[in-house]
Structure 1
């Protein structure tokens, strides 16, 4: 979406689910971007940049936009310290300007593994699911059905079969009766509302 891809489907939703899942585990956004371009930099920091190997279409979309992905430097290096210094200076300018800043992609970002970004809040099963949901290439992300087969969904006695069956259950007689009762209740409420409206109009004429 950030690279203006014309394709939108369930893989985009899979990525969104991954972001929400990460936030549920850590209680904070995984990619807290302040703008689209800042968001891209934060994605690259954790996922690395899209290229001809991990997502050829993404590399072409970026080139079409004239977008250059930031360089990725390792933590603890001289380059990483320089990146941090620039980020701190940018944050000070932003505070001074009341939160406003020029929107641009960072020249470089510090590499942060998904494990480090999640801290101690995610176990290996959760990390495995996250890694696949957050792949750059939409075709490499699992479909909802495949995602339900991951070990994460099989713990605590819950199986993918249970989840899939529950999702596809047809309405039972009980549920049909409940639906009919709700429809009848709605009709009665509509009648009562109409009566109140007529009564109020009548009292106004008097």
Structure 2
């Protein structure tokens, strides 16, 4: 009963590996993220940042999490399969994208990001590798391993996002940043879509700030006093640089595009537009149909939380049905970086059938746990003895064993950890 067959490994990272799989039932391709650490309860699994955020985010431009599976203490995320990411798409180009194509990609990225922010999360790791796509027509935001809730309390870690897309307040070790860091990253990505080269390719955190200063110029203290306070706290002095016009660096971008990028790349996070505000810029007010093509739009379905049914030994008849584990999850930042491997792994995942984690939902017949067979009837004279010694029933001794232990007079000392179901 195998529901998915693993076809090959797509990448491997610190916290998990990404596998390409196929549903044996429908033939649909899926991406399976297998976490490296073990999870011993559903509390741990369902509290993961990635699960908590994706459970609430159903949008055409956010990657769809189909199932969460826990099997043999291993955790698997089953995602819809996307052919490539934005980094690969840009790397394989031998000519620049037309502005109309870039506009449509940016519209989808900002639509997905506005939805994420509206529902109380910010991503913290926006970069081309985390924007999955099917050509330039469809773009989806993925990898929510570092996502945080907007209402969660600082301080946050300063080490988030890939350096080239990291906002200056994070580079200067701020611990109270929020959703504007995603907007800075989107501005950097937009510039890269026009040139097919990163805008701020710093080799270290300090070099990254220098690269930003060389393009945007040294920030004025009056424009961003918090930035100077952060720099002072870490004994950093901004280099004195004259700004370069983005139009000079990105000549193929329209004036409307330059305006949007300039505003998203503001030193002061408070002055950057929100994703919703960015969508209202003149850049998008054109007679162009924007968004995913109709064939890619589909009804979003709830995520299945699939818990394993542990195999039970075949036993004589007993009145007990073992209770399933409670549902639950941990808070771990996952940053799986896909790196193609040459070796192909053909291994099936075990089939797991469990109900969705939805209230008042009828459990399908095949998912219901099977009742255990009953032990041979125990005569009524034995029950007082069992009660007397507080026996519970994780192990099931035979009647002969119980009688022999009664005669020996040490039932309580040897069998006190077994049988509430027999009482």
Give the TM-score normalised by structure 1: 0.58
Name the stretch that deviates more: 133-142 or 5-14. 5-14
Post-superposition offset of 1:14: 0.4
Distance in 1 of aligned mates of 2:219 and 2:174: 13
Is 1:114 matched up with 2:283? no
Post-superposition offset of 1:193: 4.1
Give the TM-score normalised by structure 2: 0.30
Distance in 2 of aligned mates of 1:57 and 1:148: 27
> Unaligned regions of 5+ residues in structure 1, if any?
74-110, 167-173, 184-191, 196-206
Q: Partner of 2:236 in structure 1? A: 67
- Could you say if the C-alpha distance between residues 16 and 194 of structure 1 is closer, same or farther in structure 2, counting changes exceeding 3 Å? closer
Distance in 2 of aligned mates of 1:63 and 1:124: 36
- Could you say if the C-alpha distance between residues 33 and 194 of structure 1 is closer, same or farther in structure 2, counting changes exceeding 3 Å? closer
Three-state SS of the structure 1 residue aligned to 2:241 is: strand
Post-superposition offset of 1:121: 2.1
Post-superposition offset of 1:55: 0.6
Q: Deviations over 1:45-97 (max 9, x none)?
A: 11112232211100111111110111225xxxxxxxxxxxxxxxxxxxxxxxx
* Match among 172, 175, 179 for residue 299 of structure 2: 175
Distance in 2 of aligned mates of 1:117 and 1:7: 32
Kindly indicate whether the alpha-carbon contact (under 8 Å) linking 2:217 and 2:240 is maintained by their aligned counterparts in 1. no
Post-superposition offset of 1:155: 1.7
Q: Which has the higher helix share?
A: 1
Post-superposition offset of 1:20: 0.5
Q: Partner of 2:286 in structure 1? A: 155
Distance in 2 of aligned mates of 1:14 and 1:112: 21
When the two chains are superposed, the root-mean-square deviation of aligned CA atoms in Å is 3.0
Post-superposition offset of 1:113: 2.2
Distance in 1 of aligned mates of 2:177 and 2:289: 31
Q: Partner of 2:185 in structure 1? A: 16
Aligned residue runs from structure 1 range 64-103, under 5 A: 64-72=233-241
Is 1:40 matched up with 2:170? no
- Could you say if the C-alpha distance between residues 140 and 124 of structure 1 is closer, same or farther in structure 2, counting changes exceeding 3 Å? same
Distance in 1 of aligned mates of 2:282 and 2:212: 26
Q: Which has the higher strand share?
A: 2
- Could you say if the C-alpha distance between residues 70 and 151 of structure 1 is closer, same or farther in structure 2, counting changes exceeding 3 Å? same
Is 1:123 matched up with 2:247? no
Figure out how many residues of one structure are paired with residues of the other and give that number: 137
Distance in 1 of aligned mates of 2:351 and 2:179: 44
Kindly indicate whether the alpha-carbon contact (under 8 Å) linking 1:50 and 1:56 is maintained by their aligned counterparts in 2. no
Distance in 2 of aligned mates of 1:117 and 1:157: 26
Distance in 2 of aligned mates of 1:117 and 1:17: 17
Three-state SS of the structure 1 residue aligned to 2:280 is: coil
> Unaligned regions of 5+ residues in structure 2, if any?
1-169, 293-297, 305-348, 353-423
